[in-house]
Amino acid sequence: RVVAVIMVGGPTKGTRFRPLSLNVPKPLFPLAGQPMVHHPILACRIIPNLVQVYLIGFYEEREFALYVSAISNELRIPVRYLREDKPHGSAGGLYNFKDYIMEDDPSHIVLLNCDVCSSFPLPDMLEAHKRYGGLGTLLVIKVSAESANQFGELVADPVTNELLHYTEKPETFVSDRINCGVYIFTPEIFTAIQGVFTQRKDTANMRRMNSFEALQSATKALPVDYVRLDQDILSPLAGKKQLYTYETLDFWEQIKTPGISIKCSALYLAQYRYTTPHLLASGDGTKSATIIGDVFIHPSAKVHPTAKIGPNVSISANARIGAGVRLISCIILDDVEIKENAVVIHSIVGWKSSIGKWSRAEGDYNAKLGITILGEAVAVEDEVVVVNSIVLPNKTLNVSFQDEIIL
Ligand code: GDD
């Protein structure tokens, strides 16, 4: 039996995702028309003997209630949100719900960060994990040497795949192989986390006995029940024949900013071609808009037949796209209206926003602020141009802007 656990974090974690995370928890922000967390959940579905999926986070329960009940019905696998009263770290959060997770007596626990975009090769990883016979297996990928320091860098044995060395976001270069935030563990992971708690308690007691040292290190100490999977578990267990790696050659991205989410939407849309082609707009028939490349259009959205859409466009529920509109590489959220002859390129248009006739929203990944983002209920009036800008919710723009944050 396998239990999957997806770490969704909480409101203090998705801050780089503002202003979009002001409306919706980051894990529910849509990529390729489906909530971010939906993609790892779908990937879990094909794991043999999967009995339960848990989402663990410190968002309010009600924020996930609707999604969790809808997805449970759709998958016919119970998906449940478990709320931490406060952040316990990526391993502490898991440990907090040990009793729930162990209720099903799993032989394996699949643990996923929710803010990664990947093809999640879980069944193959699980097979590899069983062959290695260790406590855990990490998904790893090769990245450019310049970008590696944003992640956990690691060294593995090229023959046995054993994890030999692990450093979280190191200041000096260690390796271009990084931790993807996708793991398979045996239940012994709980013993390893328990070990960190015990060690912390012992150190805290020692400090209490030595008040001078306590004074010195009080600011450095982490709460006893706060355990990070990377620094506190993976680093010390590396080189002890307990952890192994499984390298993916497929796509992988970390989704920390809205700009990256457009790129991740493209990756998931491309994956739909193989997994769920019915989700891609076909554009055939004289009454439908011109579709270029991979495009998702929610069935409730209305798109004028003279609009030209794609590549990499996702249009959410109840959006209305007018005549002559051109959309390229963008995410259009629920209830948006885009009026005649407007153009949207490399941008995210927030819930209930509107873009006027002959207006233009355009972003550039290489600009200082990156893509253009319109928060919820932003109104761009007719013939206004917004370039490389971030617009906070409820603004009305009647003049053009470039490279600005509009508060
Ligand atoms: N429930 C809960 N509680 N979730 C948490 C908590 C917590 O206290 N802290 C973090 N998380 C979740 C985050 O939402 C995210 O999905 C995951 O755990 C990891 O978050 P961080 O610990 O903030 O690490 P990171 O995202 O900067 O980096 C980790 O992931 C990278 C891959 O994306 C590290 O493991 C890196 O080594 C790795 O490369």
DSSP string, 269-312: HHHHHHH-GGGS----STTSPEE-SSEEE-TT-EE-TT-EE-SS
CA distance 225 to 93: 9
User: Residue 326 above 70 pLDDT?
Assistant: yes
pLDDT band at 220 (very low <50, low <70, confident <90, very high): low
Task: Report pLDDT for 14.
Answer: 67
Model pTM score: 0.94
Mutate to test the pocket of ligand 1, among 5, 6, 13 (most ligand atoms within 8 A of CB): 13
Residues 6 or more apart in contact with residue 247 via CB below 8 angstroms: 139, 140, 141, 142, 156, 161, 177
User: Residue 217 above 70 pLDDT?
Assistant: no
Task: Report pLDDT for 12.
Answer: 81
pLDDT band at 219 (very low <50, low <70, confident <90, very high): very low
Task: Report pLDDT for 367.
Answer: 80
Measured from the CA of 58, which atom of ligand 1 is nearest? 1
- Cα Rg, the chain, nearest whole Å: 23
Whole-number Å distance, alpha carbon 11 to ligand 1 midpoint, is 13
Q: Give how far the C-alpha of residue 352 lies from the chain's centroid of Cα atoms, to the nearest Å.
A: 23
13 pocket-lining for ligand 1 (C-beta < 6 Å):
yes
Whole-number Å distance, alpha carbon 303 to ligand 1 midpoint, is 38
pLDDT tens figures, 158-206: 999 999 999 999 999 999 999 999 999 999 999 999 999 888 888 777 7
57 pocket-lining for ligand 1 (C-beta < 6 Å):
yes
CA distance 194 to 225: 9
Q: What is the mean pLDDT of the chain?
A: 93
| Run of H or E including 30 | strand 30-31
Q: Pick the residue whose CA is nearest to atom 13 on ligand 1.
A: 9
Omega cis (within 30) before 311? yes
Task: Report pLDDT for 262.
Answer: 96
Measured from the CA of 230, which atom of ligand 1 is nearest? 35
Average pLDDT over residues 247-252: 97
In this structure, what are the phi and psi dihedrals at residue 296, rounded to the nearest 5 degrees?
-110, 130
Task: Report pLDDT for 212.
Answer: 60
115 pocket-lining for ligand 1 (C-beta < 6 Å):
yes
Selected residue with higher pLDDT from 370 and 322? 322
pLDDT band at 128 (very low <50, low <70, confident <90, very high): very high
Mutate to test the pocket of ligand 1, among 82, 86, 90 (most ligand atoms within 8 A of CB): 90
User: Residue 319 above 50 pLDDT?
Assistant: yes
Q: Pick the residue whose CA is nearest to atom 14 on ligand 1.
A: 9
Q: What percent of the chain has pLDDT over 90?
A: 85
Whole-number Å distance, alpha carbon 90 to ligand 1 midpoint, is 6
Whole-number Å distance, alpha carbon 82 to ligand 1 midpoint, is 16
Q: What does the DSSP assignment read for 35-80?
A: ETTHHHHHHHHTSTTEEEEEEEESS-HHHHHHHHHHHHHHHTS-EE
Mutate to test the pocket of ligand 1, among 6, 7, 112 (most ligand atoms within 8 A of CB): 7
User: Residue 80 above 50 pLDDT?
Assistant: yes
Omega cis (within 30) before 236? no
Whole-number Å distance, alpha carbon 102 to ligand 1 midpoint, is 22
